[in-house]
Amino acid sequence: MEFEIQANGQPLHADARAALLAGPGFGRIFTDHMISARWTVDSGWHEARLQPYAPIVLDPAAAVLHYSQSVFEGLKAYRQPDGGVALFRPGRNAARMSASCRRLALPELPEDDFVSACELLVREDAAWVPKGDGESLYLRPLMFADEISLMVHPSDAVRFLIIASPAGRYFPGELRPISLWLTQDYVRATPGGTGAAKCGGNYAASLVPQREAVANGCDQVVFVDAVEHRWVDELAGSNIFFVLDDATVVTPELSGAILPGVTRDAVLQLAREAGMNVQERLVDIDEWREGARSGRITEVFAGGTAAVITPISTLKWPGGQVTAGDGNAGPVTLALRTALMDLQYGRKPDPHGWRRRVL
């Protein structure tokens, strides 16, 4: 795919950009450009370009507004010690977007074009990649159905976009462990459903239980499986990991209802290389409750691109709660977090070839 370049003739002034980058937050400010491409049944992919960031026009009958035929991705560009910029395993996001597209009956974007488009946008807006500790430029590729039709069928017209947003640390302040609410009434994903696809509908389904979590004094909701209400799945937007007292890292196996995280894959590999045992298997919610009480489970943490690695202290449910370890971030959590960030930020050699230099 050839991306036509339509540079923004009025990019934000450097002083105004610097002011925004002083406190980027998460997902609130966007760069000068975006990627856009269209697909139709008749013409395939076309009108691929880099263009000024701008609102889009949607017909009120655009299929995505009604039937949610859409997928998205999330990856980051990291400032390197020499001032350059690198993406982290963008090919993984490309492949996952293809898998999500297959589940949502959307056309696949060639994976090389996905990566090239990410690189093009980062290169053009490199001045927007922040330099602070733990900061990055978050890329949000998305694809949605924009056929003008209320017919329920796979859309014959689709739009692909990538926007970019400078990001501070996801949970601001120092690394504070989060607490989780075990929802009793809601599930995120079902066998045969869309849990393994990165689609907005999964997030829509998580909002009420997430609100319930906050109402119960917790930071985030954690979901168990939809059939037996017993096996730990994941959080609304990140995977979950347990550290056992014999140097084992356990994460729920990919059941079809869990999102296969790029962070998840990297964490498991880094844990293996650090000499730990790694298990992908079912985790019973009672194993968590009893393990945290007995000391068998020493640490729990969440992993995902946005939040990196976040320690989890307390699990709470109606009428009870349990805290793993002493409630602070544990040594294995911190070591894995440092190892991962050292790779992302170019502070250590990259034996896996996970960094993709853009500049």
Ligand X SMILES: *Cc1c(COP(=O)(O)O)cnc(C)c1O
Name the residue nearer to ligand X (CB basis): 96 or 159. Answer: 96
- CA-to-CA distance for 125 and 123, rounded, in angstroms? 6
Name the residue nearer to ligand X (CB basis): 74 or 154. Answer: 74
Name the residue nearer to ligand X (CB basis): 17 or 198. Answer: 198
- CA-to-CA distance for 122 and 70, rounded, in angstroms? 23
- CA-to-CA distance for 89 and 159, rounded, in angstroms? 24
**Closest separation in Å from C-beta 244 to ligand X:** 22
**Closest separation in Å from C-beta 55 to ligand X:** 25
Name the residue nearer to ligand X (CB basis): 220 or 263. Answer: 263
Cα-only R_g, the chain = 21
Name the residue nearer to ligand X (CB basis): 85 or 221. Answer: 221
Q: How many CB atoms within 10 Å of residue 83?
A: 10
Instruction: Give, in order, the Cα–Cα distances in Å from 147 to each of 38, 60, 101, 157, 223.
Output: 11, 10, 16, 5, 34
- Contact criterion met (CB below 8 Å) for 125 and 52: no
**Closest separation in Å from C-beta 305 to ligand X:** 3
**Closest separation in Å from C-beta 294 to ligand X:** 28
Nearest partner of 183 among 220, 144, 155, 149, judged by Cα: 220
**Closest separation in Å from C-beta 136 to ligand X:** 12
**Closest separation in Å from C-beta 198 to ligand X:** 5
Backbone angles phi, psi at 177, to 5 degrees: -60, 145
Binding interface with ligand X (CB under 6 A): 74, 198, 234, 237-239, 259, 261-264, 304-305
Name the residue nearer to ligand X (CB basis): 24 or 237. Answer: 237
